[in-house]
């Protein structure tokens, strides 16, 4: 069994502590900073075995050096971007399996946000750690990749089991949802989801994780086949990759 503990750090980052309950092996997914991770490990009485990085941005690797110094943990991260992952000791890429004790994760290369971005799918736990690739109601900005690359990356994640929980790295859901409603206002699942999101945020609660099933039904970046989105964008019948690219470009300039 994979135990998952969610930490809010910085303004909107999530760090996940994950532990294989069979062996006690423990990972910290994208530790933006070290102190809150060390404090949580102490509280939980967990011993850090691995930092598990999805990509090189400072709000994901900022705690690496101090955590390695304090705990002697290993660092697993993208082979394609090893030079930008501080302290990396285990390089993984598409199709590799990462073992956190008995808990096994399949690795996907998901370039687009950065060129070396990877995601970790713990199949038995139905948990996907996808960093800044797929967000609740959104997807990452294309800093180092093309729309076609990102669409290909998202297409690998879209086909995972619908019950997969989406552990993304930021609480962006409310602003993502305002954009989503602007391109697909008649999507009743989206309208209902946003009501729930607003309630959760008003109560100071996280909206993450969601499930892939919810994202498939409401996230515009997974829905370029939606006739309403195609109509909003003026791209009826266009190739899905082009609808996706136009949606991403529109979001880049969206002010909610
Ligand atoms: Zn990032
Ligand atoms: Fe980030």
Cα 181 to ligand 1 centroid, rounded to whole Å: 24
Which 3 state secondary structure label does DSSP give 11? coil
pTM strictly above 0.85: yes
Cα 33 to ligand 2 centroid, rounded to whole Å: 12
Could you tell me the two tokens for 101?
């004790």
The answer on 242 and 158 residing in a single domain is: no
Q: Which residues are annotated as catalytic?
A: 55, 57, 59-60, 113, 132, 170
Residues in contact with 236: Cβ distance below 8 Å, sequence separation at least 6, in sequence order: 227, 230
Q: What is the C-alpha R_g of the chain?
A: 18
Domain count, the chain: 2
For residue 256, the model assigns a pLDDT of 66
92 with 157, same domain? yes
Range of the domain at 188: 173-252
Q: Are residues 101 and 214 in the same domain?
A: no
Ligand found nearest the CA of 13? 2
| 8 Å CB contact between 63 and 37 | yes
What separation in Å is there between the alpha carbon of 110 and the centre of ligand 1?
Answer: 12
**Of the residues 113, 141, 168, the one at which a domain ends:** 168
Q: What is the DSSP letter of 239?
A: -
Same domain membership, residue 227 and residue 121: no
Please check whether residues 184 and 199 belong to one and the same domain. yes
Domain CATH code at residue 82: 3.60.15.10
- Shared-domain flag, residues 154 and 221: no
Q: How many CB atoms lie within 10 A of CB 7?
A: 18
- Whether residue 227 sits in one domain with residue 199: yes
- Give me the sign of the Cα torsion angle 176, 177, 178, 179: positive
Encode the chain (256 residues) as per-residue pLDDT tens digits.
999 999 999 999 999 999 999 999 999 999 999 999 999 999 999 999 999 999 999 999 999 999 999 999 999 999 999 999 999 999 999 999 999 999 999 999 999 999 999 999 999 999 999 999 999 999 999 999 999 999 999 999 999 999 999 999 999 999 999 999 999 999 999 999 999 999 999 999 999 999 999 999 999 999 999 999 999 999 999 999 999 999 999 999 998 6
Q: Are residues 61 and 25 in the same domain?
A: yes
User: Which ligand has the shortest distance to the CA of 15?
Assistant: 2
Distance 213 CA to ligand 2 centre (A): 23
Does residue 152 share a domain with residue 31?
Answer: yes
- Among the candidates 136, 168, 200, a domain finishes at 168
Residue identified by tokens 């943990």 is: 73
Which of 126, 146, 168 terminates a domain? The answer is 168
Verify that 116 and 20 share a domain, yes or no.
Answer: yes
Shared domain check, 120 and 218? no
Based on the fold, state whether residues 123 and 206 are members of the same structural domain: no
Q: How far is the CA of 52 from the centre of ligand 1 (A)?
A: 14
pLDDT at 74: 98
- Closest-lying ligand to the alpha carbon of 32? 2
């Amino acid at each position: 069994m994979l135990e998952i503990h969610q930490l809010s750090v910085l303004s909107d980052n999530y760090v996940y502590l994950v532990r294989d309950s069979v062996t006690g092996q423990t990972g910290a997914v994208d530790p933006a900073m070290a102190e809150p991770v060390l404090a949580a490990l102490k509280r939980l009485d967990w011993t850090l075995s691995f930092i598990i990085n999805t990509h090189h941005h400072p709000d994901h690797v900022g705690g690496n050096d101090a955590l390695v110094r304090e705990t002697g943990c290993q660092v697993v991260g993208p082979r394609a971007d090893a030079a930008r992952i501080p302290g990396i000791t285990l390089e993984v890429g598409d199709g590799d399996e990462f073992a956190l004790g008995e808990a096994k994760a399949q690795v996907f290369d998901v370039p687009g946000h950065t060129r070396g971005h990877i995601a970790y799918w713990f199949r038995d736990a139905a948990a996907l750690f996808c960093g800044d690739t797929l967000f609740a109601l959104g997807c990452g900005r294309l800093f180092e990749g093309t729309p076609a690359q990102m669409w290909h990356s998202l297409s690998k994640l879209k086909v995972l089991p619908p019950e997969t929980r989406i552990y993304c790295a930021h609480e962006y859901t409310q602003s993502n949802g305002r954009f989503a409603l602007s391109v697909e206002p008649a999507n009743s699942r989206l309208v209902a989801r946003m009501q729930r999101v607003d309630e959760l945020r008003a109560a100071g609660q996280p909206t993450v994780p969601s499930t892939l099933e919810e994202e498939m039904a409401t996230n515009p970046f997974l829905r370029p086949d939606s006739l309403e989105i195609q109509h909003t964008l003026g791209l009826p019948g266009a190739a899905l990759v082009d609808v996706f690219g136009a949606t991403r470009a529109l979001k880049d300039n969206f002010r909610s």
